[in-house]
């Protein structure tokens, strides 16, 4: 029998740089098939080709054994393919239901958009996923995890037969992950094929049937999840045995560069203490909502601290705002980089120098030549 989906010998270059080399992917109806590979392996690029975001340079895509030409996002949808991208693609100033039904709004007899029906249907989807949201809420008022669930609902609500989820759980709480897995199981039972991209091994064990591994843009292997260990997968991903993988050398000093004492802010940050040493990478783990981002926002002056002390190189600093934080030598790469990390319509030069424009200020004017050489 024909495969639900077959991608064969897919090649893609960007400006002469080869990103995908002869890639393969097979998906059966009712299968959850993981795509696994290190950052930059080409996973998102491969599925963007499937979703019509990019066009392939060469290779074939077959749906139910028939070769199809995917010329754009609409054409992918016509072939029953829906992608939930890694970077969310919702419209902030529209409601949840408007985003779910965009381009396929239910119509009244008079031919206008049937808002009431649309809101009711959207509410039904939200309730079935056990989400405490109203379909008339604006996307801009939702957090990232909630937006992700809306994306997922949008994809699964219109009878797609191939659904791709690109790291769908990266910002979900445990409960939301459970709801997503339930949704995936229901889709499986309806014979939908799912391509699931995730780095989280436990999730791959929990819901995938097979795993295709990619490395540096190349197809490496497709394995059956149940028959494969985590060590096997890591070895396939990195192309080396596990023993060679962790060459960790600790090279941080005893010198404490940042010390935080009894930091508190609102309900989210309570009595946080930690020390960071020079040369050290300090991880913060916890579930969504545990206050990690809020703690960092306090230290970066984005959030008012109610109490506590922050010391940099043993001197207490009074971080009132972002400016004082930057002057104290702190940088922040925020969680939602597209929204709050960069000015996407500006170039690299602008983005790289915007925090330090003062340095280029001379007699009230910016020295753009100097900015150019720094940028
Ligand atoms: N539009 C583009 N133009 C140029 N290069 C690109 C473009 N999109 C992706 N790349 C490059 O292609 C390679 C593969 O990227 P891709 O985003 O597909 O990786 P990925 O496997 O999805 O990684 P991650 O796990 O980080 O999401 C990377 O080297 C990336 O820099
Ligand atoms: Mg990706």
| CATH 3.40.50.300 matches 5-93+138-244 | yes
Third-level CATH fold of 256-341:
Rossmann fold (3.40.50)
Ligand 1 probe mutation, 10, 11, 13, 19, most atoms within 8 A of CB: 19
Q: What is the pLDDT of residue 375?
A: 45
> Does 5-93+138-244 match 256-341 in CATH topology?
yes
* Ligand 1 centre distance from Cα of residue 204 (Å): 22
Query: Are 191 and 159 in contact, with CB atoms under 8 Å apart?
Result: no
Residue whose CA lies nearest to ligand 1 atom number 28: 40
Sign of the dihedral defined by the CA atoms of residues 82, 84, 86, 89, in that order: positive
Tens digits of per-residue pLDDT, 136-148? Answer: 999 999 987 788 7
- The kind and range of the H/E element at 207 are helix 201-207
Residue whose CA lies nearest to ligand 1 atom number 8: 45
Ligand 1 probe mutation, 43, 220, 238, 337, most atoms within 8 A of CB: 43
Query: pLDDT: is 93 or 371 the higher one?
Result: 93
Domain boundaries, the chain: 5-93+138-244, 256-341, 347-375
The whole-chain average pLDDT of the chain stands at 87
Tens digits of per-residue pLDDT, 145-182? Answer: 788 788 878 887 777 899 999 888 777 777 778 878 88
- The kind and range of the H/E element at 272 are strand 269-277
For 247-282, give one letter per residue: b (16+ CB within 10 A) or e: eeeeeeeeeebbbbeebbbeebbeebeeeeeeeeee
pTM of structure: 0.68
Considering every ligand atom, which ligand is closest to the CA of 215? 1
Q: Is 23 in the pocket of ligand 1 (CB under 6 A)?
A: no
Kind of pairing between the strands at 365-366 and 361-362: antiparallel
């Amino acid at each position: 029998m024909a495969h639900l989906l077959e991608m064969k010998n897919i090649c893609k270059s960007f400006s002469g740089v080869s990103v995908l080399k002869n890639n393969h992917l097979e998906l059966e109806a009712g299968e959850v098939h993981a795509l696994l590979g290190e950052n930059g392996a080409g996973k998102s690029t491969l599925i963007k080709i499937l979703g019509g975001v990019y066009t392939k340079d060469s290779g074939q895509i077959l749906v139910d054994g028939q070769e199809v030409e995917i010329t754009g996002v609409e054409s992918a949808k016509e072939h029953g393919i829906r992608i939930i991208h890694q970077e969310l693609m919702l419209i902030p100033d529209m409601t949840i239901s408007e985003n779910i039904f965009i381009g396929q709004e239910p119509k009244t007899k008079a031919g206008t958009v049937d808002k009431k029906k649309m809101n009711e249907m959207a509410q039904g989807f939200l309730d079935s996923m056990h989400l405490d949201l109203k379909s008339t809420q604006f996307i801009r008022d939702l957090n990232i995890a909630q937006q992700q669930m809306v994306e997922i609902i949008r994809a699964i609500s219109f009878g797609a037969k191939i659904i791709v989820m690109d790291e769908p759980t990266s910002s979900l709480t445990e409960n939301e992950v459970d709801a997503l897995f339930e949704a995936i199981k229901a889709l499986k039972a309806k014979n939908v094929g799912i391509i699931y991209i995730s780095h989280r091994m436990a999730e791959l064990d929990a819901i995938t049937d097979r795993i295709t591994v990619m490395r540096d843009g190349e197809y490496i292997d497709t394995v059956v999840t149940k028959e494969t260990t985590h060590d096997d997968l890591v070895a396939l991903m990195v192309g080396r045995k596990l023993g060679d993988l962790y060459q960790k050398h600790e090279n941080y000093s005893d010198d404490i560069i940042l010390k935080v004492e009894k930091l508190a802010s609102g309900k989210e940050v309570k009595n946080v203490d930690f020390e960071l040493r020079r040369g050290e990478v300090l991880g913060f783990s916890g579930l969504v909502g545990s206050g990690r981002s809020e703690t960092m926002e306090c230290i970066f002056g984005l959030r008012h601290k109610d109490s506590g002390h922050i010391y940099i190189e043993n001197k207490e600093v009074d971080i009132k705002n972002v400016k004082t934080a930057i002057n104290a030598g702190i940088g922040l790469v925020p969680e939602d980089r597209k929204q709050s990390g960069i000015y996407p319509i500006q170039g690299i030069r602008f983005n790289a120098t915007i925090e330090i424009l003062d340095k280029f200020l001379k007699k009230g004017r910016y020295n753009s030549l100097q900015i150019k050489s720094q940028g």
